[in-house]
Amino acid sequence: MMSKYALPSFFILISFTVIGTGCKLSDNQLRGEYNNSPQPPSNDSPEDIPGYISIESKADGTGIPLSSLSVNFGDVILLYAIYRDSNDNFIANVPVNWTLNNNNGSLIPQTDNKTIAYSALSTGAINLKATPTTNINAPPKEQNSTIIGDGLPLIRPESIAVNSTENIAYVVDYYNSSLLQIDLTTGIRSLISGGVIGSGTVFLNPNSIRINNANTKAYVLDDSAEALYEVDLASGDRIIISDDSQGTGPALTNPTSLALDSTNTKAYVLLGGATDAIYEVDLLTGNRTVISNSSTGTGANFSYGLSIVLNSTDTKAYVVDANLDALIEVTLASGNRVQISNNSGTGNGPNFSSTTSLRINSAESNGYVIDDTLDALIQVNMSNGDRTIISSSSVGTGINFSKPTSLYINNSETIAYVLDEDLKALIQIDLDTGNRSLLTGNDYTTGTGPLFGGPGAGTVQSFVVNHAGTKAYVVINDSFTLSLRKVLEVDLQTGDRSLISSDTRGTGPDFEAPVKITINPDDTTLYIAENFGGARKITSVDIATGNRNIISSSLVGTGTIFSNPTSLVVNPDETKIYVLDFNLSAILEVDITTGNRNEISSALIGSGPTLNGGYSIRWNKDYNKFYISNTVNTSVMSVDLSTGDRTTISNASTGTGPNYNYNNSLVLSADNKNAYVVNRDNDTIYWVDLNNGDRTVFASSTTSMGPIPFLPLTIEYSPTNNKL
């Protein structure tokens, strides 16, 4: 079962506009006035539908209009451009140019121009204008035939529930620590609870969800919090209704799935791992009672059940168990367990391999099971256990499953909805044909060209942005395959990717272990640190040709040999490269002409605290000082170029604010007064005052909108675009 918890194999470039941080604000707190006048209809298009743009607080048109919104200082609110017809009917979300009419706030761009985050710099009304980028009376057609829907991204979608009218899906995202809403018609994704939306105890790693009959509340399991949450779907507010401190009974250790009874007074929680049980949870008190486990009920013990559903009379539970490779019927009154389909002779058809999700039809005659090893949807006859694959790479057409995790079957038993963790998408399946279509997903395929990483594409190591802020250069490495060691160029406007240097482009020695990258002042040459075995060296790459040349290594140049180069910068006249070496706890100066290496700051050179775990190095604007982020002693330091002296700028005892956890990369603001520091272990970017060392959380899952970086490693800053 470890594969279920593997790290995601994808890479994205995320941009943050550099302004102040903000606080949460829920819809029921919004009041105020703004004159949001309708736009005049246009006669430019035969498709014109008289209408106007409305700025509102929800993407689906059910939110509060801007005319009724106000904010307090420090608040952040997500706003949407809604196209409405002359009868005020919701038509679509549309792209607009967002502008402020005063200086009372700042705008934080989102993943598309249909959405903006407003950060309030004063209390009062929001004075904001949305100017359509296209004819507002002809809502834009879908322009991407591969990815449908927009809004907040899916990172690891874990569980799905659908409302009673079957037009809205609710999805919990394990890594985003959030609850999202997906419009099943448009594919638009909206944050419902988590991050800056909703009050109460934050999610950690939510992994299962169910909706009450009234469609007003969600019940969410969280396996890291070992808790059952109740979420108000209107406000996003969260309360824990059962955990170690709420309710009596055994702890919710390793919870994997839940089901609600027909009256919505009880939840039945399936637990895996060492617990391997079903608990009944009273939704009023949070009290927990064992229903079935190794000492309650008869039959084969659970061995990592992953999904549970109830029959219509609340007398039976059905469980798929990944290790038993079985569909199990559990009598709730006794806890007795009977395998009604397995690989040991109960039922015919393809064997289960790794079952992750289960649903049964309303007649309770068929079970539907997702298997993430077979990458298939399996129909199970509940009477005899027979199994039939009804959708897979060989049954049905359309996008193939990659790691399906959760399933919903509609009431008419004609459509299935499947979340896919690897594809980070929601897939719709025709149950008659097995055909699959993408309903919504993340546009990680924005742009054309070779992919960043993932299966068969290598692993992203680092990137650098050119001085014009128009291109990023991404280093990709693979320990075993030469063709996957390469540098890609990314157009930051279109997302298009092109190959700059690899074994098939450019001359010179092949890459052996490219890991870190920097760029020269005139944006013509890349310098790359290679770091593996004998391949500890600095290689130059001509951007125009892809040609490679070894600048310094154990065989090129004299002086201290690299041990673990982790970051590098070039001086303004491109005569020297300065390399931060993690193992040496030193900065080496490299002569670009000769390759000679000279220690300029180390345990023996310069005074001050050691460079313990140096990870990232940056110039100040005067090019006479370096700023360093350290992973081992979790600090930001400065180093004087002329003396090598080292000074602690910010750590647990220098400066105020939340402490660092695991410092990775850092960048400086244009005026060099602040640094932005990435912390890998808590998925956070800190804003650091370089004058006093004070630390403020600039971006994280709880303080900002948009994609949440998971295990962020590298950060770059473009003064031209004022973006991280």
Summarize pLDDT for 261-288 with one digit per residue, the tens. Answer: 999 999 999 999 989 999 999 999 999 9
Residues 489 and 585 grouped into a single domain: yes
- Where do we find the tokens 């990458």? 375
Rounded distance between C-alpha atoms, residue 136 and residue 580, angstroms = 53
Q: Both tokens of residue 394?
A: 């060989």
pLDDT band at 28 (very low <50, low <70, confident <90, very high): very low
Q: What is the pLDDT of residue 152?
A: 66
Question: What is the DSSP-derived secondary structure letter of residue 370?
Answer: E
247 strand-pairing partners: none
DSSP code of 645? -
In tens, the pLDDT along 657-703 reads 888 777 778 888 888 888 888 876 666 788 889 999 998 877 765 55
User: Which secondary-structure segment (H or E) carries 359?
Assistant: strand 355-360
What is the rounded average pLDDT of the residues 466-476? 90
225 within domain boundaries: no
Torsion over CA of 154, 3, 347 and 319, rounded to 10 degrees? -60
- How confident is the model at residue 112, as a pLDDT? 64
Residue 161 CA to residue 232 CA, distance in Å, equals 15
Backbone angles phi, psi at 475, to 5 degrees: -95, 130
What are the DSSP calls for 78-125, one per residue?
Answer: EEEEEEEETT--EEEE--EEEEESSSSEEEEE-SSTTEEEEEESSSEE
End position of a domain, from candidates 132, 166, 189: 132
The percentage of the chain sitting over the pLDDT mark of 90, rounded to a whole number, equals: 55
Amino acid at 358: L
50-108 residue pLDDT tens: 566 788 888 777 777 776 677 776 667 788 888 776 667 777 777 788 877 766 777 77
> With bands split at pLDDT 50, 70 and 90, how would you rate the model's confidence at 718?
low
Residues 562 and 619 in one domain: no
CB 653 within 8 A of CB 642: no
DSSP 3: G
Rounded-to-integer distance, Cα 581 and Cα 537, Å:
11
Residue 67 backbone phi and psi in degrees, to 5: -65, -15
Same domain, 476 and 599: yes
Q: What is the pLDDT of residue 722?
A: 64
Q: Which of 204-213, 494-503, 652-661, 702-711 has the lowest mean pLDDT?
A: 702-711
The verdict on 19 and 122 lying in the same domain is: yes
In a domain, 56, yes or no: yes
Q: How far apart, in whole angstroms, are the C-alpha atoms of residue 291 and residue 278?
A: 5
Hey, how many other C-beta atoms are within 10 angstroms of the C-beta on 138? 17
453 within some domain: no
Residue 13 burial class via C-beta count within 10 angstroms: exposed 0-12, middle 13-18, buried 19 and up? middle
Determine the pLDDT at residue 18: 47
| pLDDT over threshold 50, residue 551 | yes
126/625: higher pLDDT: 625
SS (H, E, C) 427-496: EEEECCCCCEEEEEECCCCCCCCCCCCECCCEEEEEEEECCCCCEEEEEEECCCCHHHCEEEEEECCCCC
Regarding whether 620 and 661 lie in a shared domain, the answer is yes
Domain check: are 588 and 465 in the same one?
yes
pLDDT at 719: 66
Q: Find the mean pLDDT for residues 588-608.
A: 97
- Condensed to tens digits (0 to 9), the pLDDT of residues 376-412 reads 999 999 999 999 999 999 999 998 999 999 999 999 9
The CA distance from 126 to 462, in Å, is 39
CATH number at residue 473: 2.120.10.30
> What would the pLDDT profile of 399-452 be if each residue is shown by its tens digit?
899 999 999 999 999 999 999 988 888 999 999 999 999 888 754 455 677 766
Q: How many whole angstroms separate alpha carbon 345 and alpha carbon 292?
A: 24
Weakest mean pLDDT among 119-123, 192-196, 437-441: 119-123
In a domain, residue 472? The reply is yes
- Lateral strand order in the sheet of 355-360: 355-360, 366-371, 376-381, 387-391
Q: Which of 114, 120, 87, 109 is nearest to 20 (CA)?
A: 120
Residue 142 to residue 720: CA distance in whole angstroms: 31
Question: Does a structural domain hold residue 283?
Answer: no
Asked if pLDDT for residue 130 goes beyond 80, the answer is no
| Residue 5 banded pLDDT, cuts 50, 70, 90 | very low
531: three-class secondary structure by DSSP: coil
- Regarding whether 620 and 593 lie in a shared domain, the answer is no
CB 406 within 8 A of CB 158: yes
Give the list of residues 6+ apart from residue 319 with CB closer than 8 angstroms, or none: 270, 278, 302, 305, 307, 308, 327, 328, 330, 358
DSSP letter at 191? E
Is the domain of 574 the same as that of 663? no
Identify whether 87 is part of a domain.
yes
Q: Is the residue at 315 inside a domain?
A: no
Confidence band for 29, pLDDT divided at 50, 70 and 90: very low
Same domain, 549 and 481: yes
Look at phi and psi of residue 543 and say left if phi exceeds 0, alpha if psi is from -120 to 50, else beta.
alpha
595 and 467 fall within a common domain: yes
Find the mean pLDDT for residues 524-553: 93
Report yes or no: 328 and 340 within 8 Å, Cβ to Cβ: yes
Domain count across the chain = 3
Range of the domain at 84: 13-132
- Indicate whether 619 and 718 sit together in one domain: yes
Tokens of 651: 């750590």
**The one-letter amino acid at 696:** T
Q: Do 586 and 621 sit in the same domain of this protein?
A: no
